[in-house]
Amino acid sequence: MENKNCQLNFSTNEIDLIDEMGPDEEIGTTIQTINEPRILSPLRQNFRHFVSDQDRVLFRASHASLQKRIREGKEPLSFELAGPRENIYFDPTKVRAAIVTCGGLCPGINNVIRAVVMALYHGYGVRSIIGIRYGFQGFIPKYGLPVMEMEPKIVERIHESGGTILASSRGPQPIDEIVDSLDRLNVSMLFLIGGDGTFRAGKKITDEVEKRGLKISIITVPKTIDNDIYLVSKTFGFDTAVEMACQSIRCAHTEAVGCPNGIGLVKVMGRHSGFIAAAATNALPEVNFCLIPESDFDLEGKKGLLKTLEARLRSRDHAVVVVAEGAGQKYVIGDTKEQDISGNIKLGDIGTYLRDTFRQYFEQIEMTSFVRYIDPSYIIRSVPANVEDSLYCANLGQNAVHAAMAGKTSMMVSLWNDKYVHVPIVSAIKRSKKVNLNSRFWHSVLECTGQSPLKN
């Protein structure tokens, strides 16, 4: 927790903050603890580099922002550094841990599960670890889902497979029944691996746990392939998703140059944030148009996408278009705004819409063209994590365990300014992260593609 009287040790590694941050005052940084940690950590036998709650990582690492807060007489905003504590709250011989995975699939979930189990078992000597099947449904008696006993021999090879060994589900479940189940199972720490909806449920679970006076640590690990969770530099699975998207884009480019006026069209994930599309575009010079939810575009008109695409074909004979699934929804979503089981508005299929629109447009102007459409979405989210994501997942899982054993709760493990930190759940759910159209990141996309704003 923050201590105004202590000497803070700051990490000032600079990162490119490519999302739009709100005012510092909106960001809470104080981490809840169940009670004072008084048990000496068993890691002391083989480990000496412990961290304390006074070790901090700056929220904004730029010199200008630091000077501004100093002029205002304010302490620089900072997050608590993650890592093993010398004193822990839970007795490893008596504690029971539970792991649950929620929402859609994402490369690296199994890696996080494995890291949590291995850190609990080998690091702290915890022997009672269970996995909850099919997300929050696994807590609800009416589904009749048994728990899975977790130990090293169960998880030692799961990182080689995509998906989640525990399976997952979407949609809300009664919070009181979830906490009832945690109480019946005698769970002392719960690891939630999920996205924004899971985090919101985690906050409600924490509130109900506190209301009942239970001693249960709730630790969340941010999971979303879209990379849109607030206050996380990058979510696990994102690098793998971009790598897989690039493979599809290369195929689309090959198809496009292989026929007269070929158009390679690739749809990637990104409901509200276009990070995958933008990052893949930055990685590959083959992309000519990158369409993301944050940047509106017109189809018709002199400066619209269709006329601009036509000009590209007349000058270069081929084009590659990458579109995030949430882009251009004004063209494909109905007035009813139907919701899915998680309460999200169902998206229209912008990929097939653009495919058909391109074909119709070039038929109308009597210009020969061929559209090759690729949608690799389910392939991308179902593959095993690549090496970089695997390492990232291991660190997230291990730091989640260190936080839980120290009795911390209602928090998310995050990567921020190249350091692993603790972020309160209530801060993480304040907003979603989006591509900043004024950032160097997006300007790089425009420089790579040479695309105009596509607005009349």
- Is 181 within 8 Å of 202 (Cβ atoms)? no
Q: How far apart are CA 279 and CA 358, in angstroms?
A: 24
Nearest to 232 by CA among 382, 395, 386, 49: 395
Q: What are 205's two structure tokens?
A: 């679970």
- Is 301 within 8 Å of 246 (Cβ atoms)? no
Q: How far apart are CA 411 and CA 69, in angstroms?
A: 25
- Is 433 within 8 Å of 228 (Cβ atoms)? yes
Q: What are 10's two structure tokens?
A: 């700051």
Question: Cβ contacts of residue 408 below 8 Å, gap of 6+?
Answer: 31, 32, 33, 34, 217, 219, 422
- Is 100 within 8 Å of 191 (Cβ atoms)? yes
Question: Cβ contacts of residue 178 below 8 Å, gap of 6+?
Answer: 136, 139, 140, 201, 205, 208
The DSSP-derived string for 353-364 is HHHHHHHHHHHH
How far lies 216's CA from each of 115, 337, 409, in Å? Answer: 20, 38, 8
Q: Judge whether 226 counts as a catalytic residue.
A: yes
3-state secondary structure at position 382: helix
Angle between helices 238-257 and 275-283 (to 10 degrees): 60
Residue with tokens 């105009």: 452
Nearest to 82 by CA among 393, 388, 404: 404
> Residue 342 carries which side chain, given as an amino acid letter?
S
For residues 98-121, one letter each, b for 16 or more C-beta atoms within 10 angstroms of the residue's C-beta and e for the rest, the string is: bbbbbbbbbbbbbbbbbbbbbbbb
Q: What are 397's two structure tokens?
A: 């899982």
Of the residues 226, 239, 375, 389, only one is catalytic, namely 226
Q: How far apart are CA 359 and CA 67, in angstroms?
A: 55
Residue 283, Cβ density class (10 Å: 0-12 exposed, 13-18 middle, ≥19 buried): middle
Beta bridge pairs of residue 320: 264
Residue 371, Cβ density class (10 Å: 0-12 exposed, 13-18 middle, ≥19 buried): buried
Residue 252, Cβ density class (10 Å: 0-12 exposed, 13-18 middle, ≥19 buried): buried
Give the residue numbers annotated as catalytic, written as ranges.
Answer: 226
